[in-house]
Chains A and B, each alone.
Chain A
């Protein structure tokens, strides 16, 4: 088909040339003007080519070479025109270069070809494109039109897929993953760029596959890093493409992307796409400890037994204040535990605003509605409220009530972290500047009335991140 097109094309050119000089056509021996004695040959350095992203920018990967065109009288000056185009476009969108006599080759680098195929011609980087290259030897000068010599060659070029440290989906694979060949893991509740899972793995190889725009790539350590298990270390990582198996249409996981799992057990695997790191934690790593608070109802150490509450899984807490209502039960909301860090929880739901604190309740689900004022008068809640900054007690606005609380609400800025504290839900006590509970007569002691302290939450807030590891909180509108 292509040959026919070429012949037709050559014929068209010839016809155009003939018609322009039809009057003189029979008067001279002009056989040299025609193509009977064409001599030019054209070769390509490859008929198929797969571009590799890591090829040096200036390294030619595709070279077209041709030989002399036929000899012409001295009054003819030869030049060569090289054109490259998508084969289907038949040189209507070609890039063109005029070369001088003596130039018998032209080369293209990976970058040039990649840009042409993807940017200039808008082709996909997931399939090979057939390119046509032609060289035209043409003459100027002389008294008659000289038939150019044209040679064309086709070549299949597969562009590379740029490796991007990004993913639409993340999968754990390899011999350490049991029960499935491919375990999809989720983004964390607090950050869509972090994928994490806490799962049982077997001793063996762990492969982390990123699927991005339907293309698979694998996480490997940066040069100089290791795939050995490093408990809790955030390993700088890069992505690698699958390695094609020669003589087959299959691709394999690059050996550099096979991480080592030393022994059977539970592991927390955290992939941070923004930081480009992989962090793995063994079950015994401290990060796997969950947040625990202990307190005595009414702060009465003698009358009541110590209460211990561990925050785990999806947890109901209570929103109180302008936001959740001033009724004692406030409004129940659910906070969801992060897969990357069990001490991070996220609320995502209806927007709220105004003075706000949160209450953690040691319930007995049946009693939760009464948590703030149970029948025996015992307060068994624990408050999550703004940190009382001892340095700011004197007049910078945080301690407006002058009694150790922030009754008007600590102002928070959406999207930035604020300090929080866990406090007893009722009763008052005295603290020194280091936050130690002290006798009221101690010098510098300040009365703390925690349940009267709130954040002043801006309207539109519908997303709250609780970082109990660092006692921070972040309000956002998403």
Chain B
């Protein structure tokens, strides 16, 4: 018995102390080395720390080596491969289960799950912590146990259900076996539904407690998980039929169950209804005339906090405060402004955005990677604009003469490459391209007497190669980056933003997708058509582009709608919380999209050869290994019950 207790002590110290050292606020409360499970729960400070450690597993929203960087949204420069950059190594297939993990859920979240169980077993009311507080904290722990399992099962496919706090990692692993995918999914989904009833919609003290798990968090994670679980990757995928656990049980179901889409649609609708009943809504900003302003809407939905009126955030990542956001700003802003300028987006993402007329510009690619252009859309890759394009918006960051309060502002200046002209508002708040007017550069350089600065991604340019920090595919990311960042910090209110793990727009798009798939499977598209378009169009309306079936804008044929739903999601939710990475996997598209040449602009062209720069060139050869992340080799070696995922 005493031996066991010591193991708990060691285990506890091992996980708590690294956390403590990372949180300066708590350093004065550092427990002495006599801390064990019993004493840890006799002190409200320790209790909060324990809970904070569990929260700390929420994947960061601002990072340069996470799941947002390994799909076709964002990327570090391709030739960082030569210096061992983990993102570059992974996307090129130079990766094994023994490598350090870009996604470290297996090791990290398992620990946090166990610590949540320790909390459940040991936390009790204290003089300054009421029984009600403890119950609430325990509900939070239960949420995280299910949430982290959902991340594990969506990432690794074959995972155990951790159902208790193990006395030590090693003992526990000896017994853990991977369980069938749907067993884990349905267990999580039920847990999340259950705990949603025990968590509050809002906390009474919203100022202090904002960022703690609510019932909407649970419903959102449940909806996301069930949407994943209905998708082609796992719903009747014959490619995975050979994957069995140590007892020979099949991990993935070979049989397609269309009702999975129904269950997922219901889960998303439950989330939407509950959120809307409680005051959550798509964030919409207005222009000076009181009309909807899609540019400001799309900017501010990522920039404003809930207490600034952003009612769209369901799960904020409040730890992503001013410092991480400013760091991300510096990584994404042009090098001449911020000394970094290396987090960019891919040409794939640039191509995906709709035109401002709501049409798709590029419908596919030839075998050589050349775009197949939709002539009807008005999209062109020939030449440069001959005039500035001005619209009714308060978004003045693209306008060389723009200032706060202007009724109209320029979105593209004269001389902009045609590829970037006439695109939808989401494009302009997400992508920073070459020769674009940049407010931050101007603000920064006003002090050096060089006003009205434009990006210079050319070879030998201020922001381009051959320097190691450059926009990898010819673009930097603008989404999630404060437009008023000016070198050392943001100059305005956008500095204090939170990360966003889940926002209502995702629920709308997931619901439309699931209901569409359910309807196509059941033959009820006619009955559900209006509902599907209702939610799809809510997203398009906010984005400022024509809605299907409204004002003469045509609805597509039912069988073509799937691609458009996917595209809407792809551009609305780009660069956010690993959504694209998971979408490409669950749609079973990753093997095509993430394998082969990745194109971008010709970064070897100098400014004097402007037209040469704007040519698509092959910049990276990617190799897709597996739809599932590998179980770390250490764990495979330690636990004979574990089986590695296919492809590794």
Q: Nearest Cβ in chain A — how far from B80, in angstroms?
A: 43
0 or 1 for each of B185-198: is its CB under 8 Å from A? (1 = yes): 01101100110000
Q: Which residues does chain B contribute within 8 Å of A169, judged by CB atoms? A: 190, 194
Q: State which residues 448-471 of A face B: CB under 8 Å.
A: none
Decide if A184 is an interface residue (CB 8 Å cutoff): yes
Q: Are B194 and A184 in contact (CB under 8 A)?
A: yes
Closest to B260 in A: A179
Q: Are B262 and A171 in contact (CB under 8 A)?
A: no
0 or 1 for each of B158-187: is its CB under 8 Å from A? (1 = yes): 000000000000000000000000110011
Decide if A30 is an interface residue (CB 8 Å cutoff): no
Decide if A182 is an interface residue (CB 8 Å cutoff): yes
Interface footprint category on A: 10 to 19
Q: Nearest Cβ in chain A — how far from B87, in angstroms?
A: 36
Q: Are B194 and A179 in contact (CB under 8 A)?
A: no
Q: Are B190 and A179 in contact (CB under 8 A)?
A: no
Decide if B352 is an interface residue (CB 8 Å cutoff): no
Decide if A47 is an interface residue (CB 8 Å cutoff): no
Q: Which residues does chain A contribute within 8 Å of B187, judged by CB atoms? A: 182
Q: Which residues does chain A contribute within 8 Å of B226, judged by CB atoms? A: 180
Q: Which residues does chain B contribute within 8 Å of A171, judged by CB atoms? A: 190
Q: State which residues 148-201 of A face B: CB under 8 Å.
A: 169, 171, 178-184, 200
Q: Which residues does chain A contribute within 8 Å of B99, judged by CB atoms? A: none
Q: Which residues does chain B contribute within 8 Å of A180, judged by CB atoms? A: 182, 186, 189, 226, 259-260, 263
Q: Which of B190, B193, B230, B261 is packed against the most chain A CB atoms within 10 Å?
A: B190
Q: Which residues does chain A contribute within 8 Å of B264, judged by CB atoms? A: 179
Decide if B257 is an interface residue (CB 8 Å cutoff): yes
A250 to B391, CA, bound (A): 66
Q: Are B194 and A178 in contact (CB under 8 A)?
A: no
A282 to B262, CA, bound (A): 20
Closest to A248 in B: B247
Given the known inter-chain contacts A169-B194, A184-B194, please indicate yes or no for A179 contacting B183, CB distance below 8 A.
no
Q: Nearest Cβ in chain A — how far from B236, in angstroms?
A: 13
* CB < 8 Å neighbour of B259 from A182, A184, A200: A200
Q: Nearest Cβ in chain B — how far from A208, in angstroms?
A: 14
Q: Which residues does chain B contribute within 8 Å of A178, judged by CB atoms? A: 257-260, 262
A183 to B257, CA, bound (A): 15
A101 to B194, CA, bound (A): 61
* CB < 8 Å neighbour of A181 from B183, B193, B194, B258: B183
Q: Are B193 and A184 in contact (CB under 8 A)?
A: yes
A184 to B192, CA, bound (A): 11
Q: Which residues does chain A contribute within 8 Å of B262, judged by CB atoms? A: 178-179, 200
Closest to B253 in A: A181
* CB < 8 Å neighbour of A184 from B182, B190, B257, B261: B190
0 or 1 for each of B226-267: is its CB under 8 Å from A? (1 = yes): 100010000000000000000000000000011111111000
A179 to B256, CA, bound (A): 10
Q: Is the interface of B mostly helix, strand, loop or mixed?
A: helix
A169 to B258, CA, bound (A): 26
Q: State which residues 193-219 of B face A: CB under 8 Å.
A: 193-194
Q: Is the interface of A mostly helix, strand, loop or mixed?
A: loop
A179 to B267, CA, bound (A): 12
How many A-B residue pairs lie within 8 Å, measured between CB atoms? Answer: 36
Closest to A178 in B: B259
Q: Nearest Cβ in chain B — how far from A443, in angstroms?
A: 54
Q: Nearest Cβ in chain A — how far from B263, in angstroms?
A: 4
Q: State which residues 588-625 of B face A: CB under 8 Å.
A: none
A181 to B258, CA, bound (A): 13
Closest to B266 in A: A179
Q: Which residues does chain B contribute within 8 Å of A182, judged by CB atoms? A: 186-187, 190
Q: State which residues 242-296 of B face A: CB under 8 Å.
A: 257-264
Closest to B261 in A: A179
Q: State which residues 521-580 of B face A: CB under 8 Å.
A: none
Closest to B235 in A: A179
A117 to B187, CA, bound (A): 32
Q: Which of A178, A179, A183, A202 is packed against the most chain B CB atoms within 10 Å?
A: A179
Q: Nearest Cβ in chain B — how far from A123, in angstroms?
A: 15
A178 to B230, CA, bound (A): 11
Q: Nearest Cβ in chain A — how far from B275, in angstroms?
A: 16
A184 to B259, CA, bound (A): 15
Closest to B522 in A: A200
A179 to B264, CA, bound (A): 8
Q: Nearest Cβ in chain B — how far from A333, in angstroms?
A: 15
Q: Nearest Cβ in chain B — how far from A31, in angstroms?
A: 41
Q: Which residues does chain A contribute within 8 Å of B260, judged by CB atoms? A: 178-180
Q: Are A179 and B193 in contact (CB under 8 A)?
A: no
A180 to B187, CA, bound (A): 10
A184 to B187, CA, bound (A): 10
Q: Nearest Cβ in chain B — how far from A253, in angstroms?
A: 14
A307 to B230, CA, bound (A): 43
Q: Are A181 and B259 in contact (CB under 8 A)?
A: no
Closest to B229 in A: A180
A38 to B384, CA, bound (A): 107
Closest to A168 in B: B194
Closest to B175 in A: A249
A183 to B190, CA, bound (A): 8
A77 to B261, CA, bound (A): 80
A182 to B182, CA, bound (A): 9
A105 to B261, CA, bound (A): 63
A180 to B189, CA, bound (A): 10
Closest to B230 in A: A179
Q: State which residues 23-54 of A face B: CB under 8 Å.
A: none
Given the known inter-chain contacts A169-B190, A169-B194, A184-B194, please indicate yes or no for A179 contacting B182, CB distance below 8 A.
no
Q: Which residues does chain B contribute within 8 Å of A181, judged by CB atoms? A: 182-183, 186
Q: Which residues does chain B contribute within 8 Å of A184, judged by CB atoms? A: 190, 193-194
A201 to B261, CA, bound (A): 15
Q: Which residues does chain A contribute within 8 Å of B194, judged by CB atoms? A: 169, 184
Closest to A169 in B: B194
Q: Which residues does chain A contribute within 8 Å of B259, judged by CB atoms? A: 178-180, 200, 202
Q: Nearest Cβ in chain B — how far from A252, in angstroms?
A: 13
Closest to B277 in A: A314
Q: Which residues does chain A contribute within 8 Å of B263, judged by CB atoms? A: 179-180, 183
Q: Which residues does chain B contribute within 8 Å of A183, judged by CB atoms? A: 263
Q: Nearest Cβ in chain B — how far from A349, in angstroms?
A: 14
Q: Nearest Cβ in chain A — how far from B265, in angstroms?
A: 10
A169 to B264, CA, bound (A): 21
Q: Nearest Cβ in chain A — how far from B481, in angstroms?
A: 40
Q: Nearest Cβ in chain B — how far from A51, in angstroms?
A: 23
A171 to B230, CA, bound (A): 20
Closest to A184 in B: B190
A413 to B257, CA, bound (A): 51
Q: Which residues does chain B contribute within 8 Å of A200, judged by CB atoms? A: 259, 262
Closest to B181 in A: A181
Closest to B190 in A: A184
Closest to B183 in A: A181
Q: Which residues does chain A contribute within 8 Å of B258, judged by CB atoms? A: 178
Q: Which residues does chain A contribute within 8 Å of B261, judged by CB atoms? A: 179
A121 to B516, CA, bound (A): 58
Q: State which residues 198-214 of A face B: CB under 8 Å.
A: 200, 202
A86 to B264, CA, bound (A): 50
Q: Which residues does chain A contribute within 8 Å of B230, judged by CB atoms? A: 179
Q: Which of A169, A171, A181, A202 is packed against the most chain B CB atoms within 10 Å?
A: A181
A171 to B187, CA, bound (A): 11
Closest to B193 in A: A184
Q: Which residues does chain A contribute within 8 Å of B189, judged by CB atoms? A: 180
A181 to B182, CA, bound (A): 7
19 further A-B pairs in the complex, CB-CB below 8 A; given A180-B182, A180-B259, A182-B187: A169-B190, A178-B260, A178-B262, A179-B230, A179-B257, A179-B259, A179-B261, A179-B264, A180-B189, A180-B226, A180-B260, A180-B263, A181-B182, A181-B183, A182-B186, A184-B190, A184-B194, A200-B259, A202-B259
A selection of 13 A-B contacts at a CB cut-off of 8 Å is: A171-B190, A178-B257, A178-B260, A179-B230, A179-B259, A179-B264, A180-B186, A180-B226, A180-B259, A180-B263, A182-B187, A184-B193, A184-B194
List 3 A-B pairs, minimum CB-CB distance, nearest first: A179-B259, A178-B259, A179-B263
